[in-house]
Every structure is written in structure tokens, then in C-alpha cells.
Amino acid sequence: MRGWILLLLPVISATPSLSVSQQFGAYVARSVTDGVALTGHVTYAGEAPSPKELVVAHDLEVCDQEPKFEESLIVATGTAGLQNVVAWLSDITEGKAWEEGDPTELNQIGCRFDPHVLIVPVGETFHIVNTDGILHNIHTKSSENRPINKAQPRLLKRLNITFRRPDIIRVRCDVHNWMEAWIAVAAHPYYAVTDENGTFELEDVPPGTYTLNLWHETLGMQTRQVVVATGSDAKVDVEYAPAQ
């Protein structure tokens, strides 16, 4: 039997902030032998905006080596793919374990955060890296975790950070006010961020019925109910309308 996916009407919120911790109970990691890949393509319905160049006001010897552009709404030319959308499943209580590897990093390089949107597992320590060798200041805003407001001078190359609850967290630098990023604190491994073409993939999804959540920092939340069956992979297309 071929894999398939059932889509119900989307629920759209114009507000990009949200609480995610109440969506999840305990998640149990197990071997997944019957999982499939759920892929998606997220597009923008309006005309692709021209990137807005940011004003770099100080630390020019480090921060002004190349132009910097607003990253809150990045749309691929031609395909209208929407970048930096966080996609994740709710209502999933068991599935694959997190892959082991090097600690996750949010880098400050050229006075911008890289990547702009980062996924970190809940309870895992990750690094905020200062590659620039100048003073930065990490300041977070969230609904479920305690805020961080911590200076990172040039000699402090790495900050070790841990968030204890699922969340979507805004990160800014108080020294360089154009710097902004987002951290999705993930309750399980079934999270992804859309790439430059607006595509994402959730691998090894066990058969079942789930809520697919999609969040964008400017355009807000959408949800789809999906039914995943064994067999071939499944695909979903999602469109965002311009903000009102």
C-alpha cells in the first residue's frame, strides 16, 4: 500500500509568538522500522520582497566587511519557497532517538547569527560561539524558559546554554541591534527548518495521525492534521499569505 497523507483545513495565526511546551507529554525513543519520510514545500503567496539592507553602526572593522540584509522574510525567486519556517509534529509520543553528533552551535560571525533559525533538543547543552573576537551580548526572549542576558567578550569563545522546556526563543545581541536569530527548542527529533527553496523533511515518521505545525517569525502559525501510513513517502504543500 502506498503512503498517503490526509490534509484538513489549516488553522492560521497571525501572531508569531506561541507556547509549545503544553503540546507534549513524555516522548519515548525506540527503534523505528516502519517509518516513512514526510516532506513539505512551504511557499509565499505574495510578491517576493526585496531584501532590506541593514545599517551597521559600529565595530565596522568586523561588522561591515560585507552588506547585511533583513532575514525575517526570505522568499526564493522563481519558486516562492519560504525559508526559515520551523515544521514539527505534535501528538507524537514515541519514535526515533536523536542522532548523536557534535554539540549544536549558534555562531556569531561577521556580526550576524548563523544559522538564523536553529533547532536544539530540549535539555541538551549547546554552544553560542563568538567567532568575531569582539564583545557581543546574548539576550533571549521566550515564553517557557528563563531569559538569558549575558555578555560574551572576545576572550569568551563559547557560552554553554541549556533550555529545559520546548519553546521558540528570540535571540538578539544588545551590542549590535541588527543581530537576531531564533531557537526552536525541540521536544523530539521530528522538527525541521525549511531551506532556501522552502522545503523540509521529517525522516522515519511512524504511521499515525499527527498535527503538523508550521511557524514563521513574521507570518505566524499554521497547522495541518496529517495521517501517515506505511509504504512510500508522503508530501504536503503549504502556502503562507502576506501579513496583513
Tell me: the pLDDT tens digits for 128-149? 999 999 999 999 999 999 999 9
- Cβ-defined contacts of 12-15 (< 8 Å, 24+): 12/220, 12/221, 12/222, 13/220, 13/221, 13/222, 14/219, 14/220, 14/243, 14/244, 15/220, 15/221
Are the beta carbons of 108 and 204 closer than 8 angstroms?
A: no
Instruction: Specify the pLDDT at position 11.
Output: 42
Residue 15 maps to a domain: yes
Which residues of the chain carry a pLDDT beneath 70? 1-25
Instruction: Specify the pLDDT at position 137.
Output: 98
Residue 213 maps to a domain: yes
- 227 vs 212: CA distance, rounded Å: 10
Instruction: Specify the pLDDT at position 102.
Output: 80
Residue 3 maps to a domain: no
Residue 36: domain span: 11-240
Residue 33 maps to a domain: yes
Residue 2 maps to a domain: no
Residue 5 maps to a domain: no
- 132 vs 55: CA distance, rounded Å: 18
Residue 134 maps to a domain: yes
Q: What CATH number is given to the structural domain containing 98? A: 2.60.40.420
Instruction: Specify the pLDDT at position 6.
Output: 38
DSSP 8-state symbol, 99: P
- 200 vs 212: CA distance, rounded Å: 12
User: How many structural domains comprise the chain?
Assistant: 1
Residue type, 189: P
Residue 1 maps to a domain: no
